Amino acid sequence: MARLIYGGGLGGFRGFFNNWWAIDYPEAEEHFLPALRRITNMSVADDSIHLEITDDRIFDYPFLFMQQPGQGNWHPSEHEASRMREYLLRGGFLMVDDFHGLYDWKVFEAGIKRVLPDRPIIDIPDDDPLLHIFFDLNKRTQIPGRRHLRMGPGGKVVAQMQGPAQWRGIYDDHGRLIVAINFNMDMGDAWQHADDPYYPAEMTGLAYRFGVNYVIYAMTH
């Protein structure tokens, strides 16, 4: 598993700041990777690696994780777009997470169109193997970031998101999903806050299940 290093700038929550590409790090991986090992009995590294798309080591990692492409203003150069296209068409898998609203979508869409200009972005169908390869994930519940949570009536924690959840993707010529797009969701936050009593445990559980499916799909397709 590799995180994609891109761009610059800082973002964060409650005074803790990382580069946009490193939002939720290291806590997200520190929680998710042991869960992946425990749930699947796979051989899992203790940590992810962080790589730029131009690093030749990128081809050693079948699962690439990109955070916050909107606020991070992901604008791949021609060379970076060409390298990502090569990575994906050679069998790599990209999961994009934690971007919200129209501005973020337009930034990401412009960037991914430079990478894969002739491939449409579509809604992932309910019968896609991604949703059933390990866990059956038929209920597409929105996974909020911690910053989206508010205390509602009766002390119940509720989410105030910028729009409905959209599980989208891009497929290759063989019908294999090569880009999974979590729009108006924050799976990384659900991993990061697994031990936070304020964050709903059922959302972390769902995020773990989606993460497991993503990784297994990437390793087998």
| Tens-place pLDDT, residues 21-50 | 998 888 999 999 999 999 998 999 888 899
Those residues with Cβ within 8 angstroms of residue 220's Cβ, 6 or more apart along the chain or in another chain: 133
pTM of the model: 0.89
Q: Are 214 and 95 in contact (CB under 8 A)?
A: yes
Tens digits of per-residue pLDDT, 75-119? 999 999 999 999 999 999 999 998 989 999 999 999 999 999 999
116 Cβ neighbours under 8 A, 6+ residues apart: 85, 88, 170, 179
